[in-house]
Amino acid sequence: MVDIVTIKGHHFVLITSMALHGDGCRLCHEAETEIENLAKELVCSKKGHCHANVSYRFQPYRRPILLQHFPLFRLNDDDCLRDDDFDYEDFTRNELYRPGWEALSEQSTQFLIEKFEPRAAFSGHTHRGCKRRWIKPVEFWEYTVNSFSWRNGDRPTFLLATISEQDVLVNVCHLPHESTVIYVYSATGIILLLCLSYSTCLKRCLQTFRVHLFRSYRER
């Protein structure tokens, strides 16, 4: 339900969002227990001393980065930063999210933030890009990546992150819009048809010219 991967000293916490509904199910209980245990390890690494029964695997200490499917709690995408990469004209952006369906519940969100104090959080699920600044209880940026598939919208993107000891820098990489690809295919098809028509017409003209030339030669 919960795992942590360390790459070059940077800790990434991978969380199964479905196990954070907080409804008392077995999977939810297991996930909460794993989160508590990981949080204890991170806290003792932060303090610089651990008890004998706690692992020392997170040295040097760095605040972890959350990776999960559901975004953290928000009412809708009106809370997102307005810019060209993470916002565009979409009349559904102010539709309310249902906790546990489109986003984590407020309780589960506070639980994760308080336990892990993340440097950044990455998510998906909504099929719309979002960049949101969290201030309390700790400061960090949350990024929701847009859908990679045209089936979910005309604006497929992916994120390219550069992570250092001081910063988490994120760039939005845009794939061609489906409409752009359709226009390119249509224009290419039209050009090919025009070229084919021109080639056919040219062949006929040349053939007619040869016939006339041959007849003129014979008449002489």
Neighbouring-strand partners of residue 15: 2, 68
For residues 56 and 168, what is the distance between their CA atoms, to the nearest angstrom? 24
Model confidence over 86-99: pLDDT tens digits? 655 667 778 889 88
Pair 44, 54: CB distance under 8 Å: yes
Burial label for 141, CB within 10 Å (0-12, 13-18, 19+), is middle
C-beta of residue 20 within 8 angstroms of C-beta of residue 108: yes
41 and 142 housed in the same domain: yes
Which helix (H) or strand (E) covers residue 131, if one does? strand 130-134
Task: Dump pLDDT digits (tens) for 137-168.
Answer: 899 999 999 887 777 777 788 899 999 988 99
Q: Is residue 201 domain-shared with residue 154, that is, in the same domain? A: no
Residue 132 reports pLDDT greater than 90: yes
For residue 213, what are the domain limits? 177-220
How many residues are present in the chain?
A: 220
Assess contact for 2 and 38: CB atoms under 8 A. yes
Domain shared by 122 and 183, yes or no:
no
Q: Which amino acid is at 76?
A: N
The angle, 0 to 180 degrees and rounded to 10, between the axes of the packed helices 106-116 and 26-47 is 30
Same domain, 162 and 71: yes
Regarding whether 161 and 69 lie in a shared domain, the answer is yes
| Domain shared by 122 and 215, yes or no | no
Structure tokens at 150: 């045209």
Q: What is the DSSP track for 136-154?
A: SSS-EEEEEPPPSSGGG-S
How many separate domains does the chain show? 2
Instruction: Kindly state whether residues 171 and 182 are assigned to the same domain.
Output: no
Q: What is the pLDDT of residues 18-60, one digit of tens each?
A: 888 777 778 888 888 999 989 888 888 887 776 655 566 777 8
Name the strand (E) or helix (H) holding 183: helix 178-219
Same domain (yes/no): 105, 182: no
In this structure, the answer to whether residues 162 and 193 fall within a common structural domain is no
**Residue 72 and residue 121 in contact, taking contact as beta carbons nearer than 8 Å:** yes
Q: How many angstroms separate the CA atoms of 186 and 192, rounded? A: 10
Q: What is the pLDDT of residue 90?
A: 67
The answer to whether residues 113 and 103 belong to one domain is yes
Instruction: Quote the percentage of the chain above a pLDDT of 70.
Output: 87
The residue from 155, 175, 195 where one domain ends is: 175
Same domain, residue pair 152 and 69: yes
> Residue 121 CB: number of other CB atoms within 10 A?
26
CATH number of the domain that residue 167 is part of? 3.60.21.10
Range name among 41-50, 58-67, 80-89, 111-120 with the lowest pLDDT average: 80-89
Give dist(CA 12, CA 4) in Å, integer: 5
DSSP, res 25: -
Q: Which of 175, 192, 211 is the last residue of a domain?
A: 175
Considering the entire predicted model, what is its pTM? 0.79
My answer on whether 135 and 168 are in the same domain is yes
